[in-house]
Structure 1
Amino acid sequence: MNDYLHNTIPNLKPFNYEHHHDALFINKPWVLVNGISKKKSVYTFKEDNILEISRKNNVITTSWSINIQNVLSIETEDGKITVSAFFKDDDILVLNNQSKEEFAMYINATNYEDDINSVEDIQAFLKDKYKKKVSTIIYDHEFYYIEKSEEFGPFKVEVLAEKVNSGEISAFCFVRDVNEHDYSNRMRIEDLLHEL
């Protein structure tokens, strides 16, 4: 069953009680992605094994538990289900059904300014989230650039931006990440600056 999940959503981190339970999992409003186009559901896993499922003006209180292998049992309207929990990122939770090839994905939008009520809202959330992540990675990373067949660097993007602004180099110079061996991806300084 896990192959199905990991092929669909790569790079998942298994739920780790010490790392995830208190800091990321408990008392957080998890918006269910599956079926959001029909109705919005928010799951809040509370202490004392209480699970609140909110839909519009309706709140259902049920229960959940976790065993020593970090497998959750959840009591739902459809009966009891057993799931393995994974995190894609700190604010994306995936619960993989232990007995079927199906999973539920949730978003914790606590640190997101807008409400998530539709597929379009989810797309906007993910775009914003990963744009910030890419900007952070690019900002902290170093790159080589090539000009007139000579390679220079490595430099952080802010240094490259200063060189472009001062006219020392062209924004159209090709760059490569310090971990790449050549310039085959055809990325230019200008491309990096657009992501910041």
Structure 2
Amino acid sequence: MAATHHAQVIKRDSQTYLTTALFQLLETTDLKRITVTQVVKRAGVSRMAFYRNFTTLDDLLRAYFEPAIAARFRDVSDHVPADQKLATIGAFFTEFAPMLRLATERGFEHIIRTAFDQNMTAFYQVTLAQTALTSAQRTYWTRFMSAGVYAIWREWLLDGQREPLTTIHDLIGTFQTATMRALIGGGNSRGD
């Protein structure tokens, strides 16, 4: 049991060193120009330590971002007071804004976007389970909302968070409610 615990600590430490090294390199270099060799050298670990846990540098970034983004979605879906949710999300975004800017500049935003989309899909699967929407309506409405919500958060974060968090939260809620009402109401805006 001690060896297993020790191995887990070493694995966790290696992942931390590798992640830190990769982010240090990303400060000055695009992701596509960084090699595994550069990362392991800076991290002070072996290539085997890298390949024991990851196949690509994208995998390393996914291992960093996916749990953080999933945790924010849990904050939203957990039944806690709205002001507590907003405070937690606000703190996350304050820390996350520089990372999103780095991701857009250094070519790894797709990893963040994919993790966001996966969590939006899971969140809306639960949220929409009791609606009368067809499978196609649920699928496409989820894609529509995921793209829109991501675009709003992205713009807000990269634009310096000028509006209060509550304004953005309310705006997203308004879009969500209005589009769902239109979909459920079956309104035909094409004039057919």
If you compute each CA radius of gyration, which structure gives the higher value, 1 or 2? 1
TM-score normalised to structure 2 length: 0.29
More helix by share: 2
More strand by share: 1
Which has the higher relative contact order, 1 or 2, with Cα contacts under 8 A spaced 6 or more apart?
2
